[in-house]
Amino acid sequence: MQRPLIIALDLDDAAKRRALLEQFEGESLYVKVGMELFYREGRQVIQELKEKGHQIFLDLKLHDIPNTVQRTMKELASLDIDIVNVHAAGGKKMMAAAREGLEQGTKAGFDRPFLIAVTQLTSTDEETMRSDLLINRPLSEVVQSYASFAKESGVDGVVCSAKEVPLIHDACGSSFYTVCPGIRRAEDAVGDQKRVVTPQEARELGSWGIVVGRSITSAAEPFNVYQAMKQDWEGSR
Ligand SMILES: O=c1ccn([C@@H]2O[C@H](COP(=O)(O)O)[C@@H](O)[C@H]2O)c(=O)[nH]1
């Protein structure tokens, strides 16, 4: 599969979401359904997006006791989604339970959605780790260790900053998926993101996929920005 540029559909309402996607008519996209969209529009939005031919990363970042995560993943597996995720901070038993739930819920003859784990949010930096999370280890070391724990637990890949992809490949191998938000062009506002790179840097660092929200969704001409970022992301490969 072509390494995807995944558009985060973080928009205020269904009308704005549909208006944005109309500008991409005829394009088969990879889209991210995050908490705000799923909690507002529910399971129907998955069906609507699939009928338009889009692939879906359902970004609900589950983090709960293993039993609850297993049962929830079993439910989510009945949706027609391609990627789903948990927080690695939930621990190895929770991640293994997520995988088990997905396997239990995937119908015979269908592909199990990929399971990925968030290492450290891209809005986190070393200072936040120390002061808010009370983690006194280098961020890159924590991300690399969480990626190893995810792999040991049967998870297919991680959400991380592209900055950490080489370290993750060292620990987990280059076929372990790395899905990277925190993507900006040089001219874009960074906002709440802390570990940020351009699409070209993400490619050069070896990311499997990138997630782009506001740079596209808040642009005056979203389709043009998407095309430009996709070109930087794909380069000449
Ligand atoms: O570590 C993480 C995990 C998830 N996200 C999500 O990606 C998008 C990024 O949006 P931008 O507007 O491009 O900043 C957003 O939906 C986040 O929930 C992340 O940013 N970092």
150-200: per-residue pLDDT in tens? 999 999 999 999 999 999 999 999 999 999 999 999 999 999 999 999 999
Closest approach atom of ligand 1 to CA 120: 1
Catalytic residue among 61, 151, 163, 194: 61
Q: What is the pLDDT of residues 69-106, one digit of tens each?
A: 999 999 999 999 999 999 999 999 999 999 999 999 99
| Catalytic residue check, 64 | yes
The yes-or-no answer on residue 125 being catalytic is: no
Rounded distance from Cα 49 to ligand 1 centre (Å): 19
Using an 8 Å Cβ cutoff, are 17 and 37 in contact? yes
Q: Are 8 and 212 in contact (CB under 8 A)?
A: yes
Cβ < 6 A, ligand 1 pocket = 8, 10, 34, 118, 121-122, 159, 181-182, 193, 211-215
Q: What is the pLDDT of residue 235?
A: 94
Strands (DSSP E) along 54-195, which ranges? 55-62, 83-87, 114-118, 157-159, 177-180
**Is 59 a known active-site residue?**
yes
Name the closest-CA residue to atom 7, ligand 1: 181
- What's the confidence (pLDDT) of residue 17? 98
Q: Given this model, what pLDDT does residue 2 score? A: 79
Taking the model in full, what pTM does it have? 0.97
- Please, what is the Cα angle at 232 between 228 and 233, to 5 degrees? 115
Question: 5-234: what fold?
Answer: TIM Barrel (3.20.20)
Give the residue, by CA position, lying nearest to ligand 1 atom 5: 181
Rounded Cα–Cα distance for residues 72 and 86 (Å): 11
> In this predicted structure, what is the pLDDT of residue 62?
98
Q: Would you say residue 236 has pLDDT above 80?
A: no
Instruction: Look up the ipTM and state it.
Output: 0.99
19 Cα: distance to centroid of ligand 1 (angstroms): 21
Cβ-based burial of 229 (10 A; exposed 0-12, middle 13-18, buried ≥19) = buried
Q: Where are the domains of the chain?
A: 5-234
Q: Is 93 helix (H, G, I), strand (E, B) or coil?
A: helix
CA of 213 to the centre of ligand 1 (A): 7
In this structure, what DSSP letter does residue 79 have? S
Contact 72, 62 (CB under 8 A): yes
- C-alpha separations of 169 from 89, 99, 149, 166 in Å: 20, 21, 14, 5
